[in-house]
Structure 1
Amino acid sequence: MSQPSDDAEFANYGWQSVRVRNLRGFRDSGEIWYAPVTLLFGKNSSGKTTLLRAPLLLKQAMYGPNSNEAMLSGPEVDFGSYKETVLNGQVSKDVQLTAVLATGGAAHLPSLVREVNPAYLDLFNRMQIDLVIHWNQRSGHSQYQSIAFSNPDTRRKVLSFDRTGPEEFEVKAGSRRLVRVPFPLSLQSLRYTEIALRDKGDDRETVAISFLMYTLSMSLQNTTQDMIHIGPLREKPKRAYNTDQPVVAQSGGSVVAVLRSGQGVKQIAQALQMLGMANSVSVRKLAPGFVAVTLQDTRSGRFDNLADVGFGVSQVLPILATLATASSFNTILIEQPELHLHPEAQGRLADVMYSFAKARRLKLVVESHSEHILLRLQRRVAERVIEPDDVAVYFVDSGRVKRAGIDRYGKLDNSAIPNGFFDDDWEDLMLMTKAAAEAVDRGD
């Protein structure tokens, strides 16, 4: 898979947007477009976590078994049973996940594919995938009902796969029916199934479609595996870490593994300095198979065990380790990064996250309650440090999603903010800013 060579290409590379229908509290979320830093705000149980985790359903589908059953609960994400997953428990409704992805361009496609149907090229610059999950009352489980690949600009369906029976799905090019395939419908079927079209003289199209199925599936795999999720409950700090135990992603153990490898340590230390938490971080051998994480105090220069410093440090370290070592062009989903951080550190964390996003060409999707993170990013826009389009802010409220634009002066569109969302001091600040702007307009 080719990679973009400049910022213009990066803007059109990887995960671009996600949309859900009939998922948890959302009848239709509308499209959530990803910027270098995308912020999801909402009250407790508003649905912002559902939106953040929804792309993991597609990632999970890539690695599930080649069977009829859709994976709603698995290693990447757990939405529970179908009744818990679908809107208002209405199992008669289908859940739909839509994602727009860019996979590196169509230059690598053989000429045969272009000759058979030029529309196929649309899928290898930017493609929209629609995954429909259906509850099968007879079998008593959820299943992938259809998988469709479309041109996201024209919304024209290019290639689609529709389940027609327990062990059968139909392949369509646009609205033209091509063939029925005797396999259960799954993303694995697209990757490994060889098809044979029925009409004589269609060997070229048979080869082209089979190649497309495999290539689309591999493009999805490459793009979805580049998505990393950091949950809200990071591991508590330990006085000693066992280096012989398996490493769990985004855990204290993974931080130790990163620090021991030396990869990204300089960037992690710089981030800790920006946060005012430590001058440096390292691992120290305690005994065979055991090490300690130590941090150098910013004032005294003393080296302290991670277990003896503020709890917030241990909660932010897995985030920093992930951002410092993630491959370029990855999408990182982060839940509540501000946990156990005081307001000043929350503002500095916004600077750190944006710095990593731009330097390493990452897309960060952040679920948060922190007005301090938002204010810091608004301030940087006003200071011309950040472009307004580099930050996307969404507010989630009772199944509705609104994007709040930020102008070049850092001003947020307050009409998108649900009533009573922020604390009184934030509301007072917004009212004060509004009153000051009105005074300037009046010439007071």
Structure 2
Amino acid sequence: MIHSLRLQNFKPFEDQIINFKPLTLLSGLNGMGKSSVLQSLLLLRQSYQQRLLQRKYLALNGNLVNIGTAKDALFEGAKKEEIIFELIVEHQDIQTWTWQFKYNKQSDVLSSDIAPITDNIHGFSLFTDYFHYLQAERFGPRNVFEISDDLVRQHFQIGTRGEYAAHFLYVFGKFDINTVGIKQKDSHSINRVFERPGKSEINKLIHPQENSRLLNSQVKAWMGEISPGTNIHVDPIAGVDLMRLEYSFDMGKDVGISSRYRNTNVGFGITYTLPIIVAVLASPPGTLILVENPEAHLHPRGQAKMGELLALAASCGIQVVLETHSDHVLNGIRLAVHGGKIKPEDVQLNYFQRREKQGQAFTKVISPHIDRNGRIDRWPDGFFDEWEKSLYVLLEPAGE
């Protein structure tokens, strides 16, 4: 698990420590640096996948994130031309990993004289198959979706845009959610490290109204919180490496005999949400999940339920980091704390604010705390307070 990340001279951060818990929420106005935090982690992962990090190099461009050149990555007011990432993680024991990258203005690959011993990082979730990143711009409704036997069957990936979610559900839909995504050689160590004796924590993700533990059944049950009665149908298209994703709806007396609807004839919210639900339910303890804007295209109730689902995942040994602008997602998390579904000390709230010092703008992180009742101890200006500000104006007499 990631405990903290220190960023020095990276994008809007001069020198900032960001703390993480099992569930970490990143919030703030646009352009404050929330995405930069995720990008720093993605830069490390994509550099590892390109076999560059192991040789003390950082790839600024790749399949996960594209920064540009070192000039685009360096903090504008940097006093030293270097970019430093420091990760404190729990991996077998508490470890600190530091990379100190040298600045080269036009280069898109940076080198580091200081880097951790690479043998120590191979099994950490950020660098393994026990990782999902779902970006803000996910695949919406479309007639066909891609297939990737390598990424889905061998690496348990659903794609950064959710492009393989339908294929994943087709391959693993009839698996118990306790066994999806666990490689046989890893199952013993994962159970030993992340599960309590005699009880699998992942059982807390079982929907209370669905007895079946199969991934298909659980996805349907949780999707029902977004759109009640939704059935998901995934089928391969003969002769081509593509999947068809369709929906049907149980309504009244027509339960079980309703017609299928094309994906493109159903609202954006269902398709946008599907990859998140699949990723959460299919992830074993020890997985790291990064999600941008989980609230996209969802109505308020669905956003609150999404917050609850992500909180439940975090209570099961899955580390969840989400970037959100939704007070409903936050309230879903608060309700989960209030209901005892996740401990308050397992939730980290990080609010990003723009500050200025000696004429130089930089980003500062403020971390309100949540208590056992789901109450938050302080509300800095701009921290999910827009409704309160609007209500204050509405309570005043209307102008002429």
Fold equivalence (TM over 0.5): yes
User: Once the 2 structures are TM-superposed, how far is the Cα of residue 260 of structure 1 from its aligned partner?
Assistant: 1.2
The verdict on how the C-alpha distance between 1:67 and 1:246 changes in structure 2, with shifts beyond 3 A counting, is closer
The verdict on how the C-alpha distance between 1:244 and 1:58 changes in structure 2, with shifts beyond 3 A counting, is closer
1:335-414 superposed matches below 5 A: 335-359=292-316, 361-398=317-354, 399-414=363-378
1:190-269 superposed matches below 5 A: 190-191=117-118, 215-220=119-124, 223-225=126-128, 226-241=130-145, 243=147, 249-261=159-171, 262=173, 263=175, 264-269=215-220
**Corresponding residue for residue 9 of structure 2:** 22
User: Once the 2 structures are TM-superposed, how far is the Cα of residue 308 of structure 1 from its aligned partner?
Assistant: 1.4
**Corresponding residue for residue 83 of structure 1:** 71
> Quick check: 2:10–2:73 contact (8 Å CA) kept in 1?
yes
> Quick check: 1:83–1:91 contact (8 Å CA) kept in 2?
no
> Quick check: 2:70–2:107 contact (8 Å CA) kept in 1?
no
Q: Equivalents in 2 of 1:429, 1:388: separation in Å?
A: 28
Question: SS at 2:136's partner residue?
Answer: coil
**Corresponding residue for residue 98 of structure 1:** 86
Question: SS at 2:350's partner residue?
Answer: strand
The verdict on how the C-alpha distance between 1:405 and 1:421 changes in structure 2, with shifts beyond 3 A counting, is closer
> Quick check: 1:22–1:96 contact (8 Å CA) kept in 2?
yes
Q: Equivalents in 1 of 2:96, 2:321: separation in Å?
A: 19
CA shift digits 1:65-124 (9 cap, x unpaired): 3667531222232222111101017484211111112222xxxxxxxxxxxxxxxxxxxx
> Quick check: 2:327–2:384 contact (8 Å CA) kept in 1?
yes
> Quick check: 1:393–1:404 contact (8 Å CA) kept in 2?
yes
The verdict on how the C-alpha distance between 1:284 and 1:126 changes in structure 2, with shifts beyond 3 A counting, is same
Letter in 1 for 2:97: I
User: Once the 2 structures are TM-superposed, how far is the Cα of residue 357 of structure 1 from its aligned partner?
Assistant: 3.1
The verdict on how the C-alpha distance between 1:274 and 1:355 changes in structure 2, with shifts beyond 3 A counting, is farther
> Quick check: 2:148–2:164 contact (8 Å CA) kept in 1?
no
Letter in 1 for 2:101: I
Q: Equivalents in 1 of 2:42, 2:123: separation in Å?
A: 16
The verdict on how the C-alpha distance between 1:322 and 1:380 changes in structure 2, with shifts beyond 3 A counting, is closer
Unpaired stretches in structure 1, ≥5 consecutive residues? 1-13, 105-124, 149-189, 192-214, 432-444
Aligned residues: 329
Letter in 1 for 2:114: S
Question: SS at 1:126's partner residue?
Answer: strand
> Quick check: 2:351–2:383 contact (8 Å CA) kept in 1?
no
Q: Equivalents in 2 of 1:364, 1:292: separation in Å?
A: 29
Q: Equivalents in 1 of 2:332, 2:107: separation in Å?
A: 52
Unpaired stretches in structure 2, ≥5 consecutive residues? 152-157, 176-214, 355-362, 394-400
**Corresponding residue for residue 62 of structure 1:** 48
Structure 2 residue corresponding to 1:33, chosen from 20, 31, 42: 20
The verdict on how the C-alpha distance between 1:229 and 1:365 changes in structure 2, with shifts beyond 3 A counting, is same
**Corresponding residue for residue 244 of structure 2:** 292
The verdict on how the C-alpha distance between 1:238 and 1:26 changes in structure 2, with shifts beyond 3 A counting, is same
Q: Equivalents in 2 of 1:81, 1:338: separation in Å?
A: 32
User: Once the 2 structures are TM-superposed, how far is the Cα of residue 256 of structure 1 from its aligned partner?
Assistant: 1.6
> Quick check: 1:69–1:143 contact (8 Å CA) kept in 2?
yes
> Quick check: 2:126–2:288 contact (8 Å CA) kept in 1?
no
Calculate the TM-score normalised by the size of structure 2.
0.73
> Quick check: 1:255–1:321 contact (8 Å CA) kept in 2?
yes
Check if 1:319 corresponds to 2:276.
yes
Letter in 2 for 1:317: L
> Quick check: 1:91–1:135 contact (8 Å CA) kept in 2?
no
User: Once the 2 structures are TM-superposed, how far is the Cα of residue 286 of structure 1 from its aligned partner?
Assistant: 5.5
User: Once the 2 structures are TM-superposed, how far is the Cα of residue 34 of structure 1 from its aligned partner?
Assistant: 2.3
**Corresponding residue for residue 422 of structure 1:** 384
> Quick check: 2:14–2:78 contact (8 Å CA) kept in 1?
no
CA shift digits 1:234-273 (9 cap, x unpaired): 0121123465898771445411211211243222112102
Question: SS at 1:404's partner residue?
Answer: coil
Q: Equivalents in 2 of 1:382, 1:406: separation in Å?
A: 10
Higher relative contact order (CA 8 A, sep 6+): 2
Q: Percent identity?
A: 22
User: Once the 2 structures are TM-superposed, how far is the Cα of residue 406 of structure 1 from its aligned partner?
Assistant: 0.5
RMSD: 3.0
Deviates more, 1:230-239 or 1:134-143: 134-143
Structure index of larger Rg = 1
Question: SS at 1:145's partner residue?
Answer: strand
> Quick check: 2:350–2:368 contact (8 Å CA) kept in 1?
yes
CA shift digits 1:187-235 (9 cap, x unpaired): xxx55xxxxxxxxxxxxxxxxxxxxxxx324345x65223321110001
**Corresponding residue for residue 306 of structure 1:** 263
The verdict on how the C-alpha distance between 1:91 and 1:235 changes in structure 2, with shifts beyond 3 A counting, is farther
**Corresponding residue for residue 186 of structure 2:** none
The verdict on how the C-alpha distance between 1:39 and 1:141 changes in structure 2, with shifts beyond 3 A counting, is closer
